[in-house]
A and B are shown apart, each in its own frame.
Chain A
Amino acid sequence: MTALSALIRRDLRIALRVGGGALIGVLFFLTVVVLMPFAVGPDLALLSRLGPAILWLGALLASLLTLDRLFMADHEDGSLDLITMSRTPLELACAAKALAHWLAAGLPLIVATPVLGLLLNLDMVATGAVALTLLAGTPALTFTGMIGAALAVTLHRGGLLMAVLVLPLSIPVLIFGVAASQAAITGPLSFGAPFSILCALSLVSLVIGPFAAAASLKHGLD
């Protein structure tokens, strides 16, 4: 257990440093949300209708882009080889890295949501709903995206290809995240159904992600 917690603490510390990528994710989130009104128009009514969708898309793209470096950096300085060769199962190590990544990069996105909700003219209920669905859904994004990040290590050129591979897998999370937010705002449909499916997706990805990532690393590195 101490090996895993050491891994988590190490990843957190690296991510939170200046070049680490955690805070860059929030900055990208902000940038995307700011870009939307330029494309869509400053009509506040339209923006508040699109609000949950814009926030979710921004969070999806931001987490995707920060995931790129999840394994790359370790691969470059050789620590990935050490991790794969250690006694802790690679699946658990991958899960630990993903957890650290979510804490460092995913949580700040959720914290930033209320502020960004203001820009999109979302009220308290709406912003709270979006934040809650992001809280439930970003783990799924992180753990699914980790699979792409592991495959990207094999490729040396990762980047956009990784995004193309991971995005179709993220579509269910996006659908239910936005649906749950909309349900909380507009009312007639229940919030519970899509929200619980969202939680289920996160839980499933907590299992599939580490196994698939570990398999990719094991097969791709030798």
Chain B
Amino acid sequence: MSLIDLANPTRFLALSARVLPWLAAATIILLTIGLYQSAYAPDDYQQGATVKIMFIHVPNAWLSMFVWGVMSVASLGTLVWRHPLADVAAKAAAPIGASFTFLALLTGSLWGRPMWGTYWEWDARLTSVLILFLMYLGLMALWRAVEDPSRAARAAAVLTLVGALNLPIIKFSVDWWNTLHQPASVMRMGGSSLDKAFLIPLLVMAVAFTLLFITLHLAAMRNEILRRRVRSLQMMQAGQKAA
């Protein structure tokens, strides 16, 4: 089944309905394995048991960027190839990505509190995630500010791509800024190289969360397609009444 077949919303609905239960099952299995491994992972000699927060912080941080990447590809689909489902994919992904970004910030803050003593530290990585969160919120506001879905999609697509181009620049700048204003004691989040005892649970959780995103995203895309159907039917109904 080629990409162009997926362009038909009805066929997409049929396909996603079949795939969704399997994805959900795989997600649950992997999350269970990951949680079990995280629970029984050893303590870090520096951080103690709080290293367990890393197993949920890092996947969320990775997803916050991955989802922007997915939205960027969808935006290319909208602007360059005018793929019909690209708009749907981009709009559905935004709130999910924003949630993961928020969780990355929250878990990062809770992870940092035992180490830094404060709930917030202008650490380079946390600050970049904060800026990314602002960008997600701005994007979601843009989606809702335009009435017509396809015009909103194109404006959002431009903003998403501009954001994608800027993300490496922002990360680089924030890293630079952070080294300038280096606080007295610095605890680097996550450490430079991870022992296998930590790496395996982390990878399992990362894959599990990615599957979680894909499941949620497909489900949200279905809802968005239905929402558009409702809208066009309502407009037809209004037209029929007027006639």
Contact = CB atoms under 8 A, between A and B. Distances in A.
Interface residues of A, number: 27
Interface string A155-176: 1010001001101110110011
Given A172-B170, A212-B161, A220-B154, A165 B138 contact: yes
Contacts of A154: 146, 151, 155
Interface in A4-23: none
A215 B177 contact: no
Interface in A204-222: 204, 208, 212, 215-216, 219-220
A154 B158 CA distance: 12
B131 interface: yes
A208 B169 contact: no
A189 interface: yes
A219 B161 contact: no
A129 interface: no
B134 A164 contact: yes
Contact of B158 (A175, A189, A215): A215
A171 B131 CA distance: 9
A151 interface: yes
Majority secondary structure, A binding face: helix
B162 A169 contact: yes
A165 B176 contact: no
A197 B176 CA distance: 11
Contacts of A216: 154-155, 158
Contacts of B223: none
Contacts of A60: none
Contacts of A168: 131, 134-135, 138, 163, 166, 170
A158 B162 CA distance: 18
A184 B155 CA distance: 40
A130 interface: no
Interface in B153-169: 154-155, 157-159, 161-163, 165-166, 169
A171 B137 CA distance: 16
Contact of B138 (A157, A161, A204): A161
A179 interface: yes
Contacts of A171: 131, 170, 173-174
A59 interface: no
A147 B158 contact: yes
A161 B142 contact: yes
Contacts of B154: 216, 219-220
A169 B180 CA distance: 20
B141 interface: yes
Given A172-B169, A172-B173, A151 B142 contact: yes
Interface string B22-66: 000000000000000000000000000000000000000000000
Pick the 6 closest A-B CB pairs, nearest first. Answer: A219-B154, A172-B173, A175-B177, A165-B138, A175-B173, A164-B138
Interface of A: 147, 151, 154-155, 157, 161, 164-165, 167-169, 171-172, 175-176, 179, 189, 194, 197, 201, 204, 208, 212, 215-216, 219-220
Given A151-B155, A164-B134, A165-B159, 18 more contacts: A147-B159, A155-B146, A157-B145, A161-B141, A164-B138, A165-B138, A165-B139, A169-B166, A171-B174, A172-B166, A172-B172, A176-B176, A179-B176, A179-B180, A215-B158, A216-B155, A219-B158, A220-B151
